Amino acid sequence: MAVRPYWKGYLKLSLVNCAVQMMPATSESEKVRFHTLNRATNNRVVSHYVDSVTGKDVKEENEVKGYERDENDYVILEDEELENVALDSTRTIDISTFTKRDTIEWIWLDTPYYLSPNEKVAQEAFSVIRDAMASQDMVGIARLVISRRERAVMLEPRGKGIVLWTLRYGDEVRDEDSYFDGIADEEPDADMMPLIQKFIKKQTKPWDAKMVVDPVQDRLLDIIKAKRNSRKSRPEARRKRLLPLPSQATSSTSWTRSRNRSPQKHVQNKARQADTFRALLSRFMA
């Protein structure tokens, strides 16, 4: 199944520009997801906004964004005002700066996307921008509006395409020194070091995507599969329990005939019918 582009627009470098599309480089569609249900009815529960003071439902047209400047004091921003912020970078990735790839540390990288030409006529300009950066081992820095927030992005040539990384804001990155300074500067144990190095060498393997499988997801899928199979087999098992015994088919006829016989035979027939009923009951309860 083809993945729909997450974003479409233009890649621009000086006077060169081309139509491009951006696709998510990662996916969470394989994750097991649950819906919240009403146990009594087995129907899905629908969430909605409720006024925190009045407790009444809020209509969609009355929902608005607000920035809290003080307790219970908000600055209201309308959708039009939010949409007009940073319009220049909404549909154009304008590369303004270049830097060496190894100067950007891993902690700044946030979310990866695949960038590719959106039209056949755009492939030549796209290739020029990509190969020019790759030939000098450079990455491009630009800005792009994603989900109403302007993000700094890094464009890195990769094969025939470009990987676009959104970059974290400066106030999102914490200084590692504040966490590592408390670790004592001790020399490693001379006897333990060779043992650990030998163990690392023994356990070294080539990278494989199976190293990052999620066992919890696998167990959840096993539980779901078992419950599905249980629900399919339950009606069949119940049908088998309710199948009539051979004597059951004639019990009604025997009962009718017994009414016209002698009292002694009538009592005997009732006893046989009671035995048959008990047998059916015990088979059903088994």
**Amino acid (1-letter code) at residue 60:** E
One digit per residue, the tens of pLDDT, for the chain of length 286 reads: 567 888 999 999 988 999 999 999 988 777 788 889 999 998 999 888 999 899 999 998 899 999 898 888 899 988 887 776 655 567 899 999 999 999 999 999 999 999 999 999 999 999 999 999 999 999 999 999 887 788 999 999 999 999 999 999 988 999 998 899 888 888 888 889 999 999 999 999 999 988 888 788 788 888 888 888 887 666 665 665 555 555 554 544 554 554 555 556 555 665 666 566 555 545 544 4
Under a CB-based contact definition with an 8 Å cutoff, are residues 106 and 156 in contact?
no
Domain boundaries, the chain: 1-26+72-171, 248-285
The Cα-based distances of 142 to 48, 83, 99, 217 in angstroms read 38, 20, 11, 37
How deeply is 80 buried, as exposed, middle or buried, from its count of CB atoms within 10 A (0-12, 13-18, 19+)? exposed
If you classify domain 1-26+72-171 with CATH, what class do you get?
mainly beta
Does the pTM exceed 0.85? no
* Nearest in space to 7 (alpha carbons), one of 122, 156, 115: 115
